Chains A and B, each alone.
Chain A
């Protein structure tokens, strides 16, 4: 079933919509949640939360691209769950590694003052990247794939992936500084 039909069913409030949604996107969302949480039980619960969240958001929302819409929800829910687990000192998975790597760009000081500006800067920065570098960067920091897995997807060695990420992070740091973002 295509996405517009699923969205149509959600607008109808048909419970079939959730079946179709989970049937089509379970693997996709599982991948995202598992990358972040590294825990099957948490991943399963995160997916349940995702379907519920989608049900509560559509309608009124009508996403242009359903996969990204759902993936973003899963990602945010998984990060929230990761934070809660971290608070319980059980944090694990790729999230911690990603945070450590991003520490190179911005440190771990108190948060930025203006999220909207930062979001705009990040989007502009992503627009400056070559497609392959951007894909590697987003697979790492949006989907939070392990380095090895990214290499397998692009036919790259782990070292090459690390190098690509390191350069992109370095460029990001310079870009943020140039844009006046306090690091």
Chain B
């Protein structure tokens, strides 16, 4: 390397205090787009894909070669709006709009994914509610709740934890953009954090409470919060039985924060590409009513996350319906109808077609089926989906890509409300938002 090249490289290693902050000069539109084909609102969506490996809970990888793969979906969801219920638009942020990583899971056996989803194939449900998400994201995330509302939430959480807020910070869009956005946008609150001294009660110097614009609360124990020795709390080494015991302890310990009448435990683990398990620890609000339970499972959840040393690092509380309005109850299609759509290729996914033999999904490849809602702030409407875990063809992988015996299941989503209620589908265009 020549001296001028080395100097340029060394300047890149300069101390961070010398690197000026960069104000953004312009904003780009969010990442979704879709292609309307023909008249009306028939949609043919082309999904450009980045990703050739990885999966949820595993190391995501990107297509470093820069090539893309395209799947074209047939014109299926042609909104006729023949009923009185309003038609909704789907902008899937989860299955195909995530912007990174292939929506897939790694397991040795699909039974490892067994979770506490109250929906089963035996459930007799003819309708499910659809909600409008008022906290639908801006480019800077959800900004629906204002400062006073977020302060009130943080204050309640701090009180439930027995803590006192010592300081707080708020970041508005204007702080990020440096005053380059329209005034009404500049005043939108992006981030709010309350800082509590946790030394006495949690043996942790600071407990930070972030409240998002969609009401999501993240409690960060900045130096970890130890559990009693008898509880195993790790991603990689805790068995299911141990996890249930730990989750029971955590649910009891933080009962005031959780506040559910019927808390239900939900722990499961997929695998990392190394073969290690990747365990989740969640609690959701349950009910005797199956629809209420489904809503609780999908929208009212508390997740506990361990640190590498087995301490409680983070609690995330989601209550996405608190910022949503119910539109109506919508008739849902049967599982068989959803499968028919899936087999015809009418589904939402970001799995490249070459991961399926002949690009075709058959009954034998379906390892697991769930009914779920996607609840991220990137969903304009909360609608139910049938989620199919489909075993992928491993011939695409390098020989030693996966540990022996490990399988990868791609996630394919079919809207569970019938197509006449869907006016448009926006699909991921392959960009990284």
Contacts and interface: CB of A to CB of B under 8 A. Distances in A.
A119 interface: yes
Contact of B8 (A68, A102, A119): A102
Interface in A21-70: 22-24, 26-28, 31, 41, 44-45, 47-49, 51-52, 55-56, 59, 64-65, 67-68
B21 to A, nearest CB: 7
Nearest to B65: A45
A51 B62 contact: yes
Range class of the A interface residue count = 35 or more
B4 A107 contact: yes
B22 A15 contact: no
B19 A71 contact: yes
B139 A23 contact: yes
Contacts of A126: 14-15, 18
Q: Which label, helix, strand, loop or mixed, suits the secondary structure of the B interface?
A: loop
A27 B28 contact: yes
A122 B10 contact: yes
A67 B8 contact: no
A1 B210 CA distance: 8
Interface residues of B, number: 64
Most buried by A among B4, B50, B63, B218: B4
Interface string A107-122: 1111110010011001
Interface in A72-111: 72, 75-76, 79, 83, 95, 98-100, 102-103, 105-111
A141 interface: yes
B16 A48 contact: no
A18 B101 contact: yes
A8 interface: yes
Nearest to B54: A15
B39 interface: no
Interface of B: 1-16, 18-25, 27-28, 50, 56-57, 59-64, 66, 98-101, 139-141, 171, 191, 193, 208, 210, 212, 218, 220, 222, 235, 272, 278, 305, 307-308, 313-314, 376, 431-433
